[in-house]
Copies of this chain bind each other. A is one copy, B any other.
Amino acid sequence: MPVGTLANVKTITPSQLRETGAQMILSNTYHLHLQPGEAIVAGGGGLHKFMGWNGPMLTDSGGFQVFSLSEMRKISEEGVTFRSPHDGQIINLTPERSIEIQNTLGADVIMAFDECPPYPASRQEVETATERTYRWLERCIVAHQNSSEQALFGIVQGGVYLDLRSRAAEALAKLDLPGYAIGGVSVGEPPELMAQIVQVTAPLLPPEKPRYLMGVGTYREMAIAIASGIDLFDCVIPTRWARHGTAIVQGDRWNLKNAKFREDFTPLDETCPCYTCQNFSRAYISHLVRSQEILAYTLLSIHNITELIRFTQKIREAILSDRFIAEFGHWLSGGDEGAGEAGEAGEENN
């Protein structure tokens, strides 16, 4: 799912997004509550109509953002109190309020309000947060007013403590929710730990339900997660890197400002069907990046999203023809995808 934090996938229109092959997108309760406010989105006919996206859509609950972005945050069993970065106003976000906002926004999938501990955090801190996340999930289920139209997914927390992850996953699985997510990854932990978390947690979640790994990812992270049964991802990498003048090409990361692209008149990727690769050269995009032309970010976003979607499409085809390990096994062990990628894969913080 490309990330559309503020009711748009940055720098591209819904029609350009559709052409990338993207089917489902993510938007954000925390950001939309602050601006423009869920009442305005509802007034515009709900999030699909407001932003012109007629495909599936998921809203995150705001849990991750409250913990990672807001200042003067106070947490209690009731919920979280924080100061709006927009106008300094004090805002309370509780499981009930998050679900109410998400019911008002109207996405197809809504997320339980969770407590996402930072990395590193002590076992005691993480255990407290994980247990509170479960109690908050129970309140979310009760608060949810639109379960025939909107699927509520629960979120497994547990930090890097695999036994806490297992316990949380098993408890959530019993609730027979329409889908499940693994949260609290891609928050700065080493890649090996993320892989372990996913490998331990995903198989404990019901295989017949969608399983979603939040805030991931890179090629390697996705390949490893898919091997463990993950179905859904969201990640800002394709659009954020685009705005830094960076293209993702067959798993590599290219800075288009590099001198070698100045006179390279081939497309970013000869095999890519995207609008950017069908119409423009590396030299042209390099020129736009050097000139700080906004169109560069649009063209790179189109390509990067297409590239990541194609990667998952190829994996799907390989799975269906029983060739996943043969074709993607090299992603599962060792290799070097580029230092720091996982750490940059966190959610769009706008």
A residues lining the B interface (CB < 8 Å): 6-8, 10-16, 35-36, 40, 43-45, 50-52, 262-263, 265, 275, 279-281, 283-284, 286-288, 290-291, 293-295, 297-299, 350
Whether B44 pairs with A281 at a CB distance below 8 angstroms is yes
Establish whether residues A44 and B265, one from each chain, have CB atoms under 8 Å apart when the complex forms. yes
What chain B residues lie within 8 Å of A286 (beta carbons)? Answer: 36
CB neighbours (8 Å) of A279 from chain B are 14-15, 52
Q: Is A262 touching B298 in the complex (CB atoms < 8 A)?
A: no
In the complex, A8→B284 CA distance in Å?
Answer: 10
In the complex formed, the residue of B with least CB distance to A8 is B295
Q: Are B298 and A13 in contact (CB under 8 A)?
A: yes
The answer to whether A284 touches B35, judged by C-beta atoms less than 8 angstroms apart, is no
Given contacts A288-B8, A297-B294, contact A283 B14 (CB under 8 A): no
Q: How far is the CA of A232 from the CA of B50 in the complex (A)?
A: 38
| Bound Cα distance A299, B280 (Å) | 22
What are the residues of chain B within 8 A of A294 when measuring CB–CB? Answer: 10-11, 294, 297-298
Number of identical protomers: 2
- Asked whether A287 and B15 contact (CB < 8 A) given A52-B280, A265-B44, A294-B294, the answer is no
Interface centre among A8, A44, A295, A350 (most CB of B within 10 A): A295
- Chain B residue nearest to A16 in the complex (CB): B13
Report whether A10 and B43 are in contact in the complex, using a CB–CB cutoff of 8 Å. Answer: no
The answer to whether A36 and B295 touch across the interface, beta carbons within 8 angstroms, is: no
Centre residue among A12, A13, A45, A350 by max chain B CB count within 10 A = A13
Q: Are B44 and A8 in contact (CB under 8 A)?
A: no
**Which residues does chain B contribute within 8 Å of A263, judged by CB atoms?**
40, 43
Partner of A283, one of B35, B36, B298: B36
CA distance A286 to B7 in the complex (A): 12
Known: A10-B294, A40-B283. 17 other contacts (CB 8 A): A6-B288, A8-B288, A8-B293, A8-B295, A11-B295, A13-B16, A13-B275, A13-B298, A13-B299, A15-B279, A35-B287, A35-B290, A36-B262, A40-B262, A50-B281, A52-B279, A294-B298
Residue numbers in B under 8 Å from A262 (CB-CB): 36, 40
Across-interface contacts of A265 in B (CB, < 8 A): 43-45
Bound-state CA distance A12–B16 (Å) is: 11
Q: Which residue of B lies closest to A280 (CB)?
A: B52
How far apart are the CA atoms of A350 and B292 in the complex, in Å?
10
